[in-house]
Chain A
Amino acid sequence: DQQVKQNSPSLSVQEGRISILNCDYTNSMFDYFLWYKKYPAEGPTFLISISSIKDKNEDGRFTVFLNKSAKHLSLHIVPSQPGDSAVYFCAAWGRRALTFGSGTRLQVQP
């Protein structure tokens, strides 16, 4: 039973354009959501987060949107840069542990 789903395994965008990564969840008890970025041969690194009481959080080029009624969150990267090419994981905190999605591989073409 996948409680956090990332339905797009991969995404390719042109440098300078917007990247939109999506994530859906099923557990209403999740109260904090995060995006992690992972390069090959490295562990995931924290990118941006959002509390369940908010609907938007912005940090530079990265913005996370949360739609609680739809149980959906998205990560927007504007403008996308080649260095953003990585695997992005959506994760949700449910009091005891993080539940991760399966990841979306973003490729930003120069």
Chain B
Amino acid sequence: DSGVTQTPKHLITATGQRVTLRCSPRSGDLSVYWYQQSLDQGLQFLIQYYNGEERAKGNILERFSAQQFPDLHSELNLSSLELGDSALYFCASSVQGSGSYNEQFFGPGTRLTVL
């Protein structure tokens, strides 16, 4: 158990819909990262928040957005869903947010299926 929690575990929805994925970081971690893993692919970095502020952006679509709340939990919002958005979405947390590498601890992921 990494200490990072993600809800829900599974989500099935239809094209055009909007969903929210939730992540709670490990106690004491200020940084939250979101990754997308499509079928048989590596994890693609989407976005990072550090202590409530956006710190880095990766290959995140404009239809996707995220935020980190004062209690440090984070939400990833996916809208106008398309079939290609079906994937595993992982959240990771670390103590720090930039510069040298800080170990990232991953949650179990949310499996999103868009029908």
Contact = CB atoms under 8 A, between A and B. Distances in A.
Most interface-central of A4, A32, A96, A102 (chain B CB within 10 A)? A96
A74 to B, nearest CB: 17
Contacts of A41: 108
Contact of B33 (A32, A42, A97): A97
A44 B108 CA distance: 8
Contacts of A49: 101
B108 A96 contact: no
A103 to B, nearest CB: 6
A9 B4 contact: no
Contact of B40 (A31, A45, A93, A102): A102
A42 B99 CA distance: 28
Contacts of A89: 42-43
